[in-house]
Amino acid sequence: MPDVARDLLGKHLIHVIDGQRIGGMVVEAEAYGGWDDLGSHGHGRVTPRNQVMYGPTGMSYVYFIYGNYWMFNVVAKPPDVDYAGAVLIRALEPLEGDSVMAANRSQRPRRKWTNGPAKLAMALGIGKSLNQHDLIDPKSPLFFEEGTLIPDEHVETGPRIGLESVPEPWRSIPWRFWIEGNEFVSR
């Protein structure tokens, strides 16, 4: 699963709205596991919200949090196993549909369009209606394309963000991956 997060770096995420392509390159991603990962929505029981995390790899998992924000994930788990997993896309580098993203981000500076998980969802117009879609199928409204291969020497890793109240070792496990020096990484 962490391997999927790392491999998503450099891929292009594209959302097509009325024939208009909006998207960017993945520059930061985090892996989340199943029942034993206390930092993941996949821990504990199957619920209406997390059930998609138990499904096939490559589906979207979009959830709402903090009363205002949408988070976009890719389901990623070992095949043929009853175990949940997902990868949170934390940041993109804008590539297509600049005018739409600028409008969606209230004319903020380009650097702040997609440098955070909720920000990129706002910029690309990702919400509840895009939950549980096939992200591998180019006919989907939201999908991944091949992008730039990122060599290992340009990949950095560290603990996941926002899990301050989660017990060790889950709080510190280095399942956050980002492209070294990229200005759109969230922090």
Partner DNA sequence: ACGGAGATCTTCT
Partner DNA sequence: GAAGATCTCCGTT
Question: Of 32, 143, 144, 184, which one interacts with DNA (CB under 7 A)?
Answer: 32
Separation of alpha carbons 2 and 161, rounded Å: 15
* 50 touches DNA (CB under 7 A): yes
CA–CA separation, 165 vs 169, rounded Å? 12
- Mark the segment that binds DNA (CB under 7 A) among 17-25, 114-122, 132-140, 142-150: 114-122
Asked if 178 interacts with DNA (CB under 7 A), we say no
Rule CB under 7 A: say whether 107 interacts with DNA. Answer: no
Count of C-beta atoms within a 10 Å radius of residue 55 = 13
Which helix (H) or strand (E) element contains residue 71?
strand 69-75
Least CB distance to DNA at residue 153 (A): 26
Please give the angle made by the CA atoms of 57, 59 and 61, to the nearest 5 degrees: 115
Taking CB under 7 A as the rule, which mask of x and - marks residues 127-166 in contact with DNA? ---------------------------------xxxx-x-
Residue type at position 30: E
Q: Which two tokens stand for residue 135?
A: 């992200």
- By residue count, the chain amounts to 187
105 binds DNA (CB under 7 A): yes
Q: Which of 4, 12, 40, 185 binds DNA (CB under 7 A)?
A: 40
Assign 3-state DSSP to the chain and report helix, strand, coil percentages, each to 5. 20, 30, 50
Q: Footprint of DNA on this chain (CB under 7 A)?
A: 30, 32, 39-42, 44-45, 47-50, 53, 63-69, 71, 73, 86, 88, 105, 108, 112, 116-119, 122, 160-163, 165, 186
